[in-house]
């Protein structure tokens, strides 16, 4: 990642209270769509396979993401609470939950879920590795088992044991999540936390122009990057999910008209890409990237 991203995220990444996140997961089970229909029969532990936005304004956030990324939105009822599923074309890519009223005044927050083969086993390692399990594993029909935890620096993330398998490690299409990146005070210690929980391979990032310090990989595929936060008092650790788009300029032109903000202006990044960071009207932050060539690190020298 470019250094300007680190600087811009100092104000963009504000850690939501865990109470609001954990309480939201306790509303009960709903009939979510399967992540893969038909089931894939594939398992890729360590892959980022789902994302949820915990938001203070569901209507504004839904309007923003459907307008910016052309995602479609379907609202389900979860024991009296609404849950929105975003889809990119025919497949679901993210969910949206209304933030609990016990956490007022906090910006929206994206939680990114990582595939595990055995969620109970992975969850048991979280505390031993220096993190904390915030929402114990719960079963959701068709989707699988989900849990939420915080890492050694307090950043929330999810664990997901999919009941329909994981999607193939193909190149992400426009509108799909393309990458996840962690910004922390101590990249080495944080990478070691995720290595213990998800059995990642950790290596220095040798990609030209990436700006990452460490790469987390599994199954010989790069899954995420880890970088140092800027040395500023308002800098908060956290994950940033990145969505691939077909045309970055067109995407960014829709952001202000839908009430959002371009937090980090577009600039050149790794692999002949252009990258920016946007915020939705409720404070949720997302990276956006346009690739000239294919985006799958497994296909690159």
pLDDT attached to residue 148:
97
Give the model confidence (pLDDT) of 30-76 as tens digits: 567 788 888 999 999 999 999 999 998 999 999 999 999 999 999 98
pLDDT attached to residue 207:
67
pLDDT band at 77 (very low <50, low <70, confident <90, very high): confident
User: What CA dihedral angle connects 204, 158, 102 and 92, to 10 degrees?
Assistant: 110
pLDDT attached to residue 7:
36
pLDDT attached to residue 150:
97
> Domains of the chain, with CATH numbers?
3-14+174-292 (3.10.180.10), 43-162 (3.10.180.10)
Q: Enter the pTM of the model.
A: 0.87
Give the model confidence (pLDDT) of 111-158 as tens digits: 999 999 999 999 999 999 999 999 999 998 788 999 999 999 999 999
| Most confident range, picked from 3-12, 95-104, 264-273 | 264-273
Cα dist from 109 to 18, 216, 238, 281, 298, whole Å = 11, 22, 10, 12, 29
């Amino acid at each position: 990642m470019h250094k300007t991203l680190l600087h811009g995220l100092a104000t963009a990444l504000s850690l939501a209270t865990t109470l609001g996140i954990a309480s939201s997961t306790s509303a009960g089970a709903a009939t979510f769509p399967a992540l893969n229909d038909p089931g894939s029969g594939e398992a890729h532990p360590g892959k980022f396979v789902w994302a949820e936005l915990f938001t203070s304004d569901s209507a504004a956030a839904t309007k923003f993401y459907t307008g910016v990324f052309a995602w479609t939105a379907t609202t389900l009822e979860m024991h009296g609470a609404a849950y929105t599923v975003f889809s990119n074309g025919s497949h679901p890519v993210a969910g949206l939950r209304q933030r609990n009223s016990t956490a007022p005044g906090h910006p929206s927050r994206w939680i990114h879920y990582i595939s595990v083969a055995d969620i109970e086993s992975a969850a048991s390692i979280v505390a031993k590795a220096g993190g904390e399990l915030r929402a114990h594993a719960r079963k959701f029909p068709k989707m699988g088992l989900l849990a939420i935890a915080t890492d050694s620096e307090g950043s929330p993330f999810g664990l997901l044991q999919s009941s329909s398998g994981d999607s193939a490690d193909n190149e992400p299409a426009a509108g799909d999540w393309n990458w996840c990146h962690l910004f922390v005070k101590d990249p080495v210690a944080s990478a070691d936390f995720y290595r213990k929980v998800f059995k990642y391979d950790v290596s220095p990032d040798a990609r030209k122009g990436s700006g990452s310090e460490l790469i987390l990989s599994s199954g010989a595929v790069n899954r995420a990057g880890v970088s140092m936060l800027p040395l500023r008092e308002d800098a908060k650790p956290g994950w940033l999910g990145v969505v691939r788009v077909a045309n970055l300029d067109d995407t960014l032109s829709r952001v202000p008209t839908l009430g959002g903000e371009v937090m980090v202006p577009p600039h050149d990044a790794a692999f002949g890409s252009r990258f920016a960071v946007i915020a939705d009207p409720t404070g949720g932050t997302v990276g956006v990237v346009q690739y000239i060539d294919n985006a799958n690190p497994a296909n690159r020298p």
